[in-house]
Structure 1
Amino acid sequence: MMSTRALGLGSALRKAALNPNLVRNQVAMRNIAGKRFIQVESLRPAQNIEILNSQRLKRPSSPHFTIYQPQLTWLLSIVHRGTGIALGGLFYGFSIAYLIAPTTFDTAHIVEVVAGLPEGVKYAGKALLAAPFAFHSFNGVRHLSWDLLKLLSLKGVYRSGYTVLGASAVATAYLTFFQ
């Protein structure tokens, strides 16, 4: 065990630290100071919700859309998330449908159904599938370049954003009309 001298405690500090009366007084003071003298009243759950809702109405709301000018960065971020959710939902929906009814959703049956559609519906369907796929792919490459610490200046972010929009438009047109 280390002595108080080795720890660098002086005689006054040693007396204060090792005095049992002082420790007892500190515990008593902590118990007195730690108590709250607040009267508590039990409320029904409906009253609790009413109080909470009234407090929420008085709380200030975030200004987000109401005062800020739309910027390319957050618009593309919102669209990227939306296209990811849409493509993922479409993939999982088709996969589950194939598991439930494999004879209805086999490749031959799908080709037969699509072949019977009018040309306008085919092009619209291809565009609806190609646009989110192209945008999400190109914007994903943009995010990967950010992970490599490229194009992170304000000019680079906007230039890559407009590049993603242009490349997505060209790829959508190509996939819609030439594939």
Structure 2
Amino acid sequence: MFSQKVAQQSLRRLAVQQPNLMQSMVMRASPAAIALGNVQKRSVTSSTEKEDPTQILARQRLNRPIAPHLSIYKPQIGWIGSSLHRITGVALSGTLYLGAAAYLVAPTLGWHLESASMVAGMAALPIAAKVLLKSTLALPFTYHCMNGIRHLTWDLGRGLTNPAIIKSGWTVVGLSVTSAIALAFL
């Protein structure tokens, strides 16, 4: 902010003192360069051939390096696990907010979301449906919890070697599936 004011004041002073010089400099230099007196001149080089500007740009693009992207990498447990950690976090928090909002507006809309009606609804389901529903709800929670512990150990600077990342990634997958199934049978 201060440097901009200084540049503006010096440009105004220059414009008042030497208007002809100011007009010729504005055509070639930036305001900061004019204010600091660092005006450089360089000659313009142009080719003798009349080339189509779109062809020049297309030829330059062919010489540029291509940035790597996900489609060229082999899927690894490290980045897949971190991605799933974020996805499960968003899914769990979104479900919590939607459930809380539904619970608050349920009496107004005539819905029965109180504990007694939820227990009665679950009791009416067959065993296979209960296990499937409960494990579907438990798996994102257990995965996010186990992988959160993994990320916390990384924050402490432990387990950051490739073999340790692979081992801990598959350990998190196994523990989260096992604990989700265990929770489903409770």
For the aligned pair, the TM-score class normalised by the smaller chain equals 0.5 to 0.7
After TM superposition, the structure 1 = structure 2 runs for residues 119-134 of structure 1, keeping only pairs within 5 Å, are: 119-134=127-142
Residue 153 (1) aligns with residue 161 (2): yes
> Is residue 75 from structure 1 mapped to residue 80 from structure 2 by the alignment?
yes
Aligned in 2, Cα 1:156/1:110: closer, same or farther, shift over 3 Å?
same
1:117 partner SS: coil
After TM superposition, the structure 1 = structure 2 runs for residues 17-32 of structure 1, keeping only pairs within 5 Å, are: 24=18, 27-32=22-27
TM-score by length of 2: 0.64
Aligned positions of 1:1-179 closer than 5 A: 24=18, 27-34=22-29, 63-102=68-107, 104-177=112-185, 179=186
> Which secondary structure state, in structure 2, belongs to the residue aligned with residue 33 of structure 1?
coil
Q: CA deviation at 1:32?
A: 2.8
Per-residue Cα deviation, 1:23-50 (whole angstroms, up to 9, x for no partner): 8486454223149xxxxxxxxxxxxxxx
Bigger mean CA deviation after superposition, 96-105 or 123-132: 96-105
Report the Cα offset of residue 151 of structure 1: 0.9
Quote the Cα distance in structure 2 between the aligned partners of 1:26 and 1:162: 71
In 2, the alpha carbon distance for the partners of 1:27 and 1:68 equals 55
Following superposition, the deviation at residue 62 of structure 1 comes to 5.5
Question: CA RMSD for the aligned pairs?
Answer: 2.8
Q: Which amino acid aligns with 1:31?
A: V
TM-fit CA distance, 1:100: 0.4
User: Following TM superposition, by how much is the alpha carbon of 1:64 offset from its aligned partner in structure 2, in angstroms?
Assistant: 2.1
Amino-acid identity (%):
39
Q: 1:26 & 1:139 partners in 2: Cα distance?
A: 66
Rounded to whole Å, the distance in 1 between the matches of 2:23 and 2:69 is 51
Paired residues, number: 136
Q: Report the CA distance between 1:136 and its aligned residue.
A: 0.4
2:75 maps to a residue whose letter is P
Task: For 1:126, give the aligned amino acid.
Answer: K
Distance 2:66 2:130 in 1: 45
Separation of aligned partners in 1, 2:175 and 2:67? 35
Unaligned runs of 5+ in 1: 1-19, 36-57
| 3-state SS, counterpart of residue 134 of structure 1 | helix
Q: How far apart are the structure 2 equivalents of 1:27 and 1:117?
A: 84
Query: Which amino acid in the other structure matches residue 120 of structure 2?
Result: E
Q: TM-score, normalised by structure 1?
A: 0.66
Give structure 2 stretches of 5+ with no counterpart.
1-13, 31-60
